[in-house]
Structure 1
Amino acid sequence: MATLLAARFRGKHLMAAGIFQRMTRIGGAGILSAALAACNLIAPVEPSLKPQARPAALPAPVVAKPTSQKSAMLRSYLNQVQTAQLTQGLLRRDGGGADTPFTADMLARNFEKIAFFNEYDGNFSGRGGQSPLRRWDTPVRMDVIFGAGVPPSQRNGDTYDVRRYASRLARITGHPISTSGSPNFLVIIASEDDRAEALVEAATRVRGITANSLRALRNMRRDTYCAVAAYAAGPDANTYTAAVAIIRAENPDLLRLSCIHEELAQGLGLANDSPAARPSIFNDDDEFALLTGHDELLLKMLYDNRLRPGMSATEAAPITRIIARELTGGPL
């Protein structure tokens, strides 16, 4: 019993340790009486039943709605597109290499074609023309809206990809870009069945965007995987205040990630594509799926403080040539 007491209280109760030491020095009945005295020092433990807190109500599980035949056929078509492109060596994820060299002059020319021209007109119905430099001045706060037919596993993966990419864009540009706070840049990932409803929700969540202004994004051609629209609702027509990217949920994983990379970067101000840009996602040939090192330099140029919204390509040209040489280590 003495050993049990010492083990139970060793290092916790000095009184119990002292009792054990005294017990080892006396014998016979003294040992028994000392042991009984020690036992009497231990108050009985009364059982206590605490009421269990009621668990908070669990959120209802997200259950994706069944897809229509039209959406299922589109998903099959887009899977075939991705397979064919991969077979042809397209949708590269290596960012370029020895086979894709570029010089400072090439970088400056690509920047001019991509930053000072629009890929489409305001209705997405025709080619756009030359435009002044446009970008964001205020912090960009991104959020994702999913269509009701997008399953939970895809939602989790796409949310992670958007958050990670937003952090990367912030590091590249030096501009505050996050996925917290009241959003002004919405990324909609929805199918043919629920894109219209997602656009209605987007119009209620961002100032400066209306359902009518998003009408051009409602009806997308079959061969359009994704699109982005940026808005300048403030006093400066060349400073973006809101943006909405729309990505088909039917896209397979790599095509969907490719859309995230291109549309979010274009929504920052690199509005055009150029067949001369390589290695780049700002090229309709789909050679590269993900943002390349060349593209990172374009974004750095776009948010360089020596450039300002509203500048024309002619005004900016002497500055962009200097920036391009600085970024590539070429002679000034």
Structure 2
Amino acid sequence: MSGPASEIMRPGPASRLLLAPLLLAALAACEPAGLAPAVPAAPPRDVAPPEPPVAEPGASTLAARAYYARVEANYLAQDLLRTDGGGADAPFTARDLAENFVHIAFYDEFSERGGRLVPQAVENRLHRWTEPVRVTVEFGASVPAAQRAADRAAIAGYVGRLSRITGLPMRMTARRANHTVLILNADERGAAAARIAMLAPGTGAAAVRSVTEMPPETYCTVFSFTTGGSAVYTRALTVIRGELPERLRLACIHEELAQSLGLVNDWPRARPSIFNDNEEFALLTRQDEMMLKMLYDPRLRPGMTLAEARPIVETMAAELMGGES
């Protein structure tokens, strides 16, 4: 999710990388002199790392909190970041739904160029998950305890909603997660490269840099990964600024987790929708729910081209809209 006049950082083809098995770091223990060092037992692979104790935020995090509070207040003063899901003022037809789905599901928003992710809409095949999604959340040390509890609850509720909409099994877990949500303040993001490498080995330098050097106008980002040339997602990683106030954090949760399922692009004509850059809607809308249902309809399959899928997409859109054109 982006800021007032910017782009949302999201995975392009370079982000769909082959993932090696999850690596776990072992900590060396100090031993008394004269004794043979003990060999620590390796932690189980399916146990989440312990949550860090709350630390005092640094000056950069405090400044960022104040800045994003002003940004959110400015949005709200303009009646943006709506939570109503779209109403009579935002009508759409079956044709709108089909075209919006095509542009959001069959185009990548970002590509790698010169070692960085840059906006570039490129047609791609349909990508989605086929296995259950197991979501876990990790927080930076300076994220307050109350915010951790609120964000964890919001993500858990939203994961359940996404599962009901798509029919894809999704749940929160501390064991064997394949989608990790990192909520990090400025104090932690700059040092996040090692954790990203542990969670998703082989992540490209441009993707890592988009997190460690996240520009102020970028609020959050998500990367979904496939194995080799497959169109099936096997792992995802979401990074959200911990400095954001509540409405902006919720907007990031809604957009990035939904995009991790395969709605990868933004399309400025999509309304009502969170899949554009105008910040009108903060939370998943009625049309967004329809697009998620279409994405996981068994009539579509991972790897389909736009030409193959378009007639099916138009049929599904007409069905969801009750035959309205």
Shorter-chain TM-score above 0.5: yes
Could you say which structure has the greater relative contact order, defined with CA pairs below 8 angstroms and 6 or more residues apart? 2
**Residue equivalent to 2:83:** 93
Secondary structure at the aligned position of 1:320 is classed as: helix
1:225-236 equivalences in 2 (<5 Å): 225-232=219-226, 234-236=227-229
For residue 251 of structure 2, the aligned residue among 255, 258, 266 is: 258
Q: What do the CA deviations read for 1:35-60 (whole angstroms, capped 9, x no partner)?
A: xxxxxxxxxxxxxxxxxxxxxxxxx9
**Residue equivalent to 1:223:** 217
Secondary structure at the aligned position of 2:107 is classed as: coil
Between the aligned partners of 1:170 and 1:144, the Cα distance in structure 2 is 17
**Residue equivalent to 1:166:** 159
Displacement of 1:200: 2.5
- Greater Cα offset, 187-196 or 65-74: 65-74
1:1-332 equivalences in 2 (<5 Å): 63-122=53-112, 123-180=116-173, 181-205=175-199, 210=203, 212=205, 214-232=208-226, 234-330=227-323
Query: For residue 190 of structure 1, what is the amino acid of its counterpart?
Result: L
Q: What do the CA deviations read for 1:120-150 (whole angstroms, capped 9, x no partner)?
A: 1144233241111111111111111101111
Query: For residue 215 of structure 2, what is the amino acid of its counterpart?
Result: R
Displacement of 1:285: 0.3
Secondary structure at the aligned position of 2:109 is classed as: coil
Residues 327 and 61 (structure 1 numbering): CA distance in 2 closer, same or farther, change over 3 Å? closer
Secondary structure at the aligned position of 1:141 is classed as: strand
Query: For residue 188 of structure 2, what is the amino acid of its counterpart?
Result: D
Q: What do the CA deviations read for 1:257-292 (whole angstroms, capped 9, x no partner)?
A: 110000000011000111110000001000000001
How large is the Cα RMSD of the aligned pairs? 1.9
Q: Which structure has the highest strand share of the two?
A: 2
Between the aligned partners of 1:106 and 1:331, the Cα distance in structure 2 is 11
Residues 62 and 135 (structure 1 numbering): CA distance in 2 closer, same or farther, change over 3 Å? closer
Secondary structure at the aligned position of 2:180 is classed as: strand
Between the aligned partners of 1:117 and 1:182, the Cα distance in structure 2 is 30
Displacement of 1:198: 4.3
Find the structure with the greater CA-based Rg: 1
Residues 152 and 130 (structure 1 numbering): CA distance in 2 closer, same or farther, change over 3 Å? same
Secondary structure at the aligned position of 1:118 is classed as: strand
Displacement of 1:76: 1.0
Between the aligned partners of 1:190 and 1:163, the Cα distance in structure 2 is 18
**Residue equivalent to 2:36:** none
Query: For residue 95 of structure 1, what is the amino acid of its counterpart?
Result: G
Gaps in structure 2 of 5+ consecutive residues: 1-49
Q: Tell whether the 8 Å contact from 2:52 to 2:139 is kept in structure 1 after alignment.
A: no
Q: What do the CA deviations read for 1:166-221 (whole angstroms, capped 9, x no partner)?
A: 00000000011111241111111001111244452343245x55585634322111
- Greater Cα offset, 179-188 or 151-160: 179-188
Query: For residue 172 of structure 1, what is the amino acid of its counterpart?
Result: I
Between the aligned partners of 1:330 and 1:210, the Cα distance in structure 2 is 44
Q: What do the CA deviations read for 1:4-45 (whole angstroms, capped 9, x no partner)?
A: xxxxxxxxxxxxxxxxxxxxxxxxxxxxxxxxxxxxxxxxxx
Secondary structure at the aligned position of 2:118 is classed as: coil
Number of paired residues? 271
Between the aligned partners of 2:290 and 2:188, the Cα distance in structure 1 is 36
Between the aligned partners of 2:217 and 2:194, the Cα distance in structure 1 is 23
Secondary structure at the aligned position of 1:193 is classed as: helix
- Percent identity between the two aligned chains: 46
Between the aligned partners of 1:210 and 1:99, the Cα distance in structure 2 is 42
